[in-house]
Amino acid sequence: MSNLGDNSISSSPTPVSPQLPTEGNAGRRELAKLIIMHEYPLSIVDHEQFRIYCDTLQPMFNIPSRNTIKKDILDMFEKEKEKTLSKLEANEGRIAITTDMWTADHQIEGTWLLQLIT
């Protein structure tokens, strides 16, 4: 008997290891970026509906714990900090640092041309 709401495929799926660097870490990295960019609390990984949503999108994705996602975010911060310090050390000119209450996805390179930060 066929279930109209069932979208599963009858053949057995190809086993996928959630620990593969290209899959497991990419999902964790994107989750960390989501938390950073939208200033979500680390506890989002514990929210029941968030877990249901993630499981609906990709059942093989292991949602990291708060401590793991915190470590991922701190690791990302350290890498960005190193890149920034490297750029500052390579700069032969002056540096102007300003602050304001808005965000931008742009920076000015050594050529004084506005560059998109990626």
Percent of the chain with pLDDT over 70: 64
Q: How many CB atoms lie within 10 A of CB 93?
A: 7
Quick check: 81 and 87 in contact, CB under 8 A?
A: no
pLDDT tops 50 at residue 18: no
- How do residues 56-99 score in pLDDT, each as one tens digit? 999 999 999 999 999 999 999 999 999 989 988 888 888 777 77
SS (H, E, C) 78-91: HHHHHHHHHHHHHC
Task: Write down the pTM of the prediction.
Answer: 0.61
> Which residue would you say has higher pLDDT here, 47 or 23?
47
